[in-house]
Structure 1
Amino acid sequence: MFYAILAYHVEGVIVAMTPQEDAALMAGLLEINTRLHEDGTLGPSARLGATEDACTLRGPGDGVIIDGPFAETKEQLLGFYIVDCTTRDDAIAIARDLRRVNASAVYEIRPVLLFKPGVPLAGR
């Protein structure tokens, strides 16, 4: 089963990091990425761009484009991992590893249902 691990953080904390602090954080995360890749568990992962460059499409019909993301919290979604795990507990263990490196982040773990036209959704 694929799980998305969504990384939320107060963007200002990340932006305020020195280049050395950011490099140290990314090095720690890269260690986990390398291990997951070697285990065959890691799917796509990404560090998202600035929330100020985001927009949201909402509303009926063609909808309306609104500047920015609209999270109801002070944290913003700043990145994600897709991991292939046998159980939810395995995905939670990976999120705990990530949190040990990036302790002020919040990680949401969510099952991912892959959509392929003409193929029933897995896990339903």
Structure 2
Amino acid sequence: MLIICDDESDALSPVEIARLPDHVAWIEYMERSGVTLLGGERLRSSGDATSVRTRNGEVLVSDGPFVETKEQIGGFALIECADLDEAVEAASRHPFAAHGVIEIRPVWQE
């Protein structure tokens, strides 16, 4: 999974982002290279988040993200790759990697 972290002040909709030339180029790269995009979504602003914790049997619910940072998780892309090297290459070509962070996390498979 590619976890896309960026400055969330960009107010473009998912449809607008999908039409940007750099995003179109990324999708085309993925198709050419054989990396399968299994799914992905843009998330609403961290201001719309709800954080849930349990401490000593008590459920604590708070508005907003767990951590106050400039970069927030803004979306994800679930991809299928042959190995970590291929995932790194795909992540490095994601348009948000140029100004944000793309975190790669393997999905548990039993």
| Deviation sequence 1:32-83 (CA, Å, 0-9, x none) | 2355357361111111111111101111446222101113532100011111
Which amino acid in the other structure matches residue 48 of structure 2?
D
Higher strand share: 2
- Please provide the CA RMSD for this pair: 2.6
Consecutive unaligned residues in structure 1, runs of 5 or more: 115-120
Q: Aligned runs of 1:101-116 on 2, under 5 Å?
A: 101-102=95-96, 103-114=98-109
Counting only pairs closer than 5 Å after superposition, residues 79-94 of structure 1 correspond to structure 2 as 79-94=75-90
TM-score, normalised to structure 1's length?
0.70
Q: Percent identity?
A: 30
AA partner of residue 92 (structure 2): R
1:10 — aligned with what?
7
TM-score in terms of structure 2 length:
0.77
User: 5+ unaligned residues in a row in structure 2: which ranges?
Assistant: none
- 1:2-54 CA-to-partner distances (Å, cap 9, x unmatched) read xx111101112x13x7x9xx946752224323553573611111111111111
The match for 2:26 is 32
